[in-house]
């Protein structure tokens, strides 16, 4: 197992890609620190699998600096090391119309999207780096989006700009921490059938579904596990000489 006895912090482990990533890491032997603001989601995770007794769940709002410091402190108190950080908090639904065109966005919409998709990534990465530098090793994997490439028709300009920020942040951090043996990478998912996206997909017209699927060479939408597997690769020793990149996990769509 690739992560036997590794300590992996998954931010946003309560749902979606973060939840699936925590499952993959757990299956492969990691001691997983599952972090989410949603107490009920974390409780459900604990109930689903009693084998997670070596894992740690932490309820925290990673937009709050003090709470992020607390996540790192609890991890170190429990396990003494931070091997991997996965930043999977983010999204577009913090504003009323996540598909709004630029002239329909308010200044508050813009600020809320930027904060939600960038602040937590910055705070968690900063705090993890402090400890990883002392260890002189560690891996950070961020969750960007194909929207950050400017090629998604299903996102607002605010969301696209925020995820482009994650891509550039990832590259800059990689340059800074490389001399300490730390890597920093990201994935850029295409349309992924998380629970939230499934609800949207189910009410879409057949014509719309056909158009979307025809634009993807592999002919299907991504599953959360597709994305989680890419995250696990970047967090594993198989990717020891890879840093500063963002992998598009989009079924070949260009």
Catalytic hit among 127, 159, 187, 222: 159
- Which 3 state secondary structure label does DSSP give 68? helix
> Would you mind telling me the total number of residues written for the chain in this entry?
254
- Within 10 A of 167 (CB to CB), how many other CB atoms are there? 19
8 Å CB contact between 14 and 59 = no
DSSP for residue 92: S
Residue 6, helix vs strand vs coil: coil
Would residue 90 be called left, alpha or beta, if left means φ above 0 and alpha means ψ between -120 and 50 degrees? left
DSSP annotation of 192: B
Active site residue 159: yes
Catalytic residues: 159
């Amino acid at each position: 197992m690739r992560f036997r006895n590794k300590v992996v912090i998954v931010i946003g482990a309560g749902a979606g890609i973060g939840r699936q990533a925590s499952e993959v890491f757990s299956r492969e032997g990691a001691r997983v620190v599952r972090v989410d603001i949603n107490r009920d989601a974390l409780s459900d995770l604990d109930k689903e699998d009693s084998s997670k007794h070596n894992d740690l769940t932490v309820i925290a709002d990673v937009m709050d600096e003090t709470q992020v410091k607390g996540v790192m402190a609890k991890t170190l108190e429990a396990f003494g090391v931070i091997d991997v950080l996965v930043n999977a908090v983010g999204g577009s639904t913090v504003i009323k119309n996540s598909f709004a065109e630029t002239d329909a966005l308010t200044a508050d919409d813009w600020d809320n999207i930027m904060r939600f998709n960038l602040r937590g990534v910055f705070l968690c990465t900063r705090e993890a780096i402090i400890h990883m530098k002392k260890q002189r090793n560690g891996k950070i994997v961020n969750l960007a989006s194909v929207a950050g490439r400017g090629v998604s028709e299903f996102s607002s300009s605010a969301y696209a700009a925020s995820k482009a920020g994650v891509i550039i942040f990832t590259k800059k951090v990689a340059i800074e921490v490389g001399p300490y043996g730390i890597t920093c990478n990201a994935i850029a998912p295409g349309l992924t059938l998380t629970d939230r996206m499934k609800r949207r997909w189910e009410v879409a017209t057949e014509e719309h579904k056909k158009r979307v699927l025809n634009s993807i060479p592999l002919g299907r939408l991504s599953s959360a596990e597709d994305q989680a597997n890419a995250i696990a690769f970047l967090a594993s020793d198989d990717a020891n000489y890879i840093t500063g990149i963002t992998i598009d996990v989009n079924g070949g769509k260009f």
